[in-house]
Structure 1
């Protein structure tokens, strides 16, 4: 998208609008099942920020924090938007009565895979963050990234898993 917008005669506000109203919803739709790390998401949207800086007449070294200010661009932070979307999706799954069995299975499976004696929402997940098979596990990533931002989960369900043998690899 950034390559298409570069040569166009657009104002910085137009590029900001396209970022917020077109690019982010499109990425959010495509990333429904996978939550990437903040650095991966930044690398995806970095070309758009360079177009925005160029259209606004800002230096290439302008900090991103300036672009996230309310005025004049109102750029949304993609990582926080995707994280909140994933948390909201899991919250719906955990609270919906039709998905209760799936939610119990997901938490129990993750608990067994980690070999944890308590619910994965109550333990430090950082030691497992380098496990390759967990890097694409959407529930694990949602729990891990939200814990890094001090977001706590209060689940209305508790996993019933009694056998704490490791589950099959993901």
Structure 2
């Protein structure tokens, strides 16, 4: 984790951009397939960026601007036009590129979930959130919202999905019955 004594996130932003530009410059002249570049992006670059950005969450547009040099390399290796829309690269085939923003967002959510469920930190975290709620004058807060009804709905939907999947699976079987 990298910190700067100034309370600015620009330090981390510069490091992340530098890391991506260095990797793009390294992979650009190499004779690699687009699938190789996609693999290196998913398996090497994103985990390194996730580690660097674990204390800072940027907007989706900022994250896209950080990883843009790698997308340029990927487009070039795949023989795609520079105007190829990004959603095309995120399709499962042929590249399976992970969306960096959603990966980092889920990482942040998981770390907050660990903090709020850990017995040693839970009380302090709830106190800090309650303090912020009062300080900001917010009427509602994630800790005051009862999510129990939603969890019951999700459980019901999961059961229905399982039943539908089983029904479809059973309907694919060809069974014949003989009457004796």
TM-score above 0.5: yes
Listed one character per residue, the Cα deviations across residues 37-95 of structure 1 (whole Å, up to 9, x for unaligned) are 00110010000000000000000000111111111100000011111111111111111
Q: Counting helix residues as a fraction of each chain, which structure ranks higher?
A: 2
Partner of residue 65, structure 1: 87
Specify whether residues 51 and 19 from structure 1 end up closer, same or farther in structure 2 by C-alpha distance, changes over 3 A only: same
Q: Is the 2:57–2:104 Cα contact (8 Å) retained in structure 1?
A: yes
5+ long unaligned stretches in structure 2: 1-22, 149-180
Specify whether residues 113 and 40 from structure 1 end up closer, same or farther in structure 2 by C-alpha distance, changes over 3 A only: farther
Runs of 4+ aligned structure 1 residues displaced above 2 Å come to 152-155
Tell me how far apart the structure 2 counterparts of residues 153 and 72 of structure 1 sit (CA, whole Å). 42
Tell me how far apart the structure 1 counterparts of residues 146 and 67 of structure 2 sit (CA, whole Å). 28
Partner of residue 21, structure 1: 43
TM-score by length of 2: 0.65
Which protein has greater RCO, CA pairs closer than 8 Å, 6+ apart?
1
5+ long unaligned stretches in structure 1: 123-151, 156-170
Of residues 101-110 and 51-60 in structure 1, the stretch that sits farther from structure 2 once superposed is 101-110
TM-score by length of 1: 0.68
Aligned residues: 126
Q: Whose radius of gyration is greater, 1 or 2?
A: 2
Tell me how far apart the structure 2 counterparts of residues 11 and 69 of structure 1 sit (CA, whole Å). 17
